[in-house]
Amino acid sequence: MSKVYLVGAGPGDPELLTLRALRVLGEADVVLYDRLVSAEILAYVNPQAERIYVGKAKGDQDRVQREILHLLLHYARAGRTVVRLKGGDPMVYGRGAEEWLFLAQHGITVELVPGLSSALALPGMAGIPLTLRGIGRSFAVICGQEQGGAAPEIAPYARIDTLVILMGVERRAELAQALIQAGRDAWEPCAFIENGSTPNERIVLAALEAVAQGRVAVQAPAVWVIGPVVAVREQLQAVAADEPVHAMPVPAYTGMHQARDVVVVERG
């Protein structure tokens, strides 16, 4: 019986693929893959498999998504083993549920192969915990734009300790302004993790106010983390450099945050 696998490719580094994802890629007849799936990950695909790029351009998402659904159904009905390969996790802002529901309604068996979501994996890899006793007891993952491209209503999230915003680069100044207006500390530390876990990784550290003022240059794809936990990265680096650190578990808004500067860290 034909089957469609919804497979998460993780945040970028091919070594972060799951074992199940590797097995399924090696058994695939057809692979439909997104823009954020690298050539290094595609190298694990069955050499005899047909590979179809289905990345979406801005303003063309709905049309391409309809084509994706048509292709998935076409190849599944033809008896092929189909892999829908997505960056991150298919069920976290990946339209995986929409594709699963569509296929199920047409009698196609679907199996989910979860992947590491960039929202959860990349902050930790950058030395930023999403939770920390005393300062980070809650976190939320938010999409930084609505279906039409407008900024979401973010004020209701202002009281959550740690915010992780995906697809928020374009609207970053507007979102930061809204958070400050809703009571968020303007000096609160932020981190943008561009192309996380890849050789092109770049981390931009700044105060929320600098983002609101439009002084932070960032390019997508980037995961945006907001909250006191961002300062833990500085403490970890100080420990590694054998420098004095502030006592845990309450990091201080030090250095760049008090000076309201912007710090860029290139991956070494």
- The set of catalytic residues is 34, 56, 167
Token digits for 73? 């159904």
Closest CA to 159 of 129, 132, 139: 139
- Judge residue 63's burial from the number of C-beta atoms within 10 Å of its C-beta, 0-12 exposed, 13-18 middle, 19 or more buried: exposed
List alpha helices for the chain, DSSP H: 19-27, 39-42, 61-77, 96-105, 118-125, 172-181, 208-212, 232-240, 256-259
Contacts of 251 (CB under 8 A, 6+ apart): 135, 228, 229, 231, 232, 234, 235
Amino acid sitting at position 200: N
170 vs 185: CA distance, rounded Å? 21
Contacts of 107 (CB under 8 A, 6+ apart): none
Scanning the structure block, which residue is given the tokens 């694990």? 44
| Strand order through the sheet with 222-226 | 139-143, 162-166, 222-226, 189-194, 202-207, 262-266
SS3 218: coil
Amino acid sitting at position 142: I
Angle, in degrees to the nearest 10, between helices 96-105 and 61-77: 40
